[in-house]
């Protein structure tokens, strides 16, 4: 059963530990300032190229830029990680 985007977002928020609130605030500020795109915008860009169903998403900051990290379940049941630039939607790396 595929999760809706809203359900996925709520699940991610519920699963986030309290100590991560400063990370959440930094991400919200980056979104408000236009330095990153929302998860829904990024999904619209990359979903056709992910090659499977998104089962987990994280937003990290690496080397001064934000990166969405997607865990994707392929049709054959393999899990792969896809890193996407949170500002541009460019796929940076795919780990099988």
Q: For 10-45, what is each residue's pLDDT tens digit?
A: 555 555 554 456 778 888 889 999 999 999 999 999
Question: Is 11 inside any structural domain?
Answer: no
pLDDT of residue 19: 46
Question: Is 68 inside any structural domain?
Answer: yes
Question: Is 13 inside any structural domain?
Answer: no
Count of domains observed in the chain: 1
- Burial (CB count within 10 angstroms: exposed 0-12, middle 13-18, buried 19+), residue 80: middle
The token pair that represents 60 in the structure block: 């990290």
59-71: string of b/e by CB count within 10 Å (b at 16+)?
beeeeeebbbbbb
Which CATH number do you get for residue 47? Answer: 3.10.450.40
What is the percent of the chain with per-residue pLDDT over 70, rounded to a whole number? 78
Q: Which domain holds residue 49?
A: 34-96
Question: Is 29 inside any structural domain?
Answer: no
**What pTM value is reported for the model?**
0.74
pLDDT of residue 73: 96
Question: Is 7 inside any structural domain?
Answer: no
Question: What is the distance between the alpha carbons of residues 49 and 88, in angstroms, rounded to a whole number?
Answer: 15
The token pair that represents 7 in the structure block: 């359900």
């Amino acid at each position: 059963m595929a999760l809706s985007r809203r359900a996925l977002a709520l699940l991610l928020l519920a699963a986030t530990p309290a100590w991560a609130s400063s990370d959440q605030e930094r991400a919200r500020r980056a979104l408000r300032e236009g330095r990153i795109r929302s998860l829904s915008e990024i999904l619209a860009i990359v979903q056709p190229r992910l090659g499977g169903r998104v089962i987990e998403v994280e937003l990290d900051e690496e080397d001064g830029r934000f990166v969405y990290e997607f865990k994707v379940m392929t049709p054959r049941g393999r899990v792969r990680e896809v890193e996407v630039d949170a500002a541009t939607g460019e796929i940076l790396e795919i780990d099988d």
